[in-house]
Amino acid sequence: NAGVMQNPRHLVRRRGQEARLRCSPMKGHSHVYWYRQLPEEGLKFMVYLQKENIIDESGMPKERFSAEFPKEGPSILRIQQVVRGDSAAYFCASSPRGQGATYQETQYFGPGTRLLVL
């Protein structure tokens, strides 16, 4: 069973460029979460998506960041006009379905994309 796949593993961008991070969930999983890990910090929630729907984007910066999870293909986290403060590790996690009130499901994490903005 392939786990959560993320690519690229490492991404270098200059200030002002765009960064596109991809996440393919585990087979059979239709729910995707994105988290950001700043140096020496824990992971912070960014966005939760189902196929073709953004369910919760309360952790997303209001500008320059967007996410999608199309009907076909991977989930994409897009950062426009990157700045040095965007340098971080970005992790994607997937689960088989949304977690119901009586059944807490586990999120499975990918290896992350380490973004460096020069």
Partner 1 sequence: GDSVTQMEGPVTLSEEAFLTINCTYTATGYPSLFWYVQYPGEGLQLLLKATKADDKGSNKGFEATYRKETTSFHLEKGSVQVSDSAVYFCALTTSWGAGSYQLTFGKGTKLSVIP
Residues engaged in binding partner 1 (CB under 8 A): 4, 6, 33, 35, 40-45, 48, 55-56, 58-59, 91, 93, 98-99, 101, 104-112
CB 64 within 8 A of CB 18: no
CB of 118 to partner 1, least distance (A): 20
Query: Nearer to partner 1 by C-beta: 13 or 31?
Result: 31
Query: Nearer to partner 1 by C-beta: 40 or 72?
Result: 40
Query: Nearer to partner 1 by C-beta: 4 or 77?
Result: 4
Give DSSP secondary structure letters for 69-101.
Answer: --SSS-EEEEE-S--GGG-EEEEEEEESSPPBT
